[in-house]
Structure 1
Amino acid sequence: MRERPGPGLDRAAERIALAHDVSPYLFTPQTVVRAASAAEVGALMAGASRAGVPLTLRPGGTSLARQAGRSGLLVDVRSHWRGAEVLDDSLRVRVQAGLTVRQVSAWLAR
């Protein structure tokens, strides 16, 4: 797990931009971390739980009900979790959390 988020993720403008969704609410997280693996997410969840800091996952897609963030730790999985796998002769698809429905549809159209 990275000790600190990537460059710029502690700046207020970056935190607001990454936390923003289409809901009318805006909660600015204390920090944003771009998790690259499930192990990183697990470690962040354990650390946030021990510290009593709220943690919110930020996947792909658009939130209409303020699921995109809270005032604690925002874990962005959109950057690294963008894989997809077609299963069962194209009857099912397994996608990672960073993809939107539109991106999955475009991927499947190929």
Structure 2
Amino acid sequence: MTTEDDVRRIALALPETTERPSYGTPGFRVKDRLFARMREEGVLVVWCDDVADKEALIASEPRKFFTTPHYDGYPMVLVRLPEVDAQELRELLLDAWRIRAPKRVLAAHGDALG
């Protein structure tokens, strides 16, 4: 089980990440590119590679991952934080960070992130 505090701790540990409100909730950006944000208490929005990746996550573990009509057609998935552990949360945030990070930032920091 993870919380918003875990999201903040993990996200802000990623290189060149800042926190700034997005739609009234905490958002996490790499070089001003949003890669994750809290949607509501206990629900995180993260970027995926593409819509197919999003759909695969939802199909594989619908208790953890879901979407709403607002996100239809977009490569973003909603995550129920109580259903994921800290390691899985770190992987989700790191993947989203890599997807959204500019090439220059990836080149400078990508290898160090494992």
Given the two structures, how large is their TM-score scaled by the length of structure 2?
Answer: 0.27
Larger Rg: 1
The structure with the largest strand share of the pair is 2
**TM-score, structure 1 as length reference:** 0.27
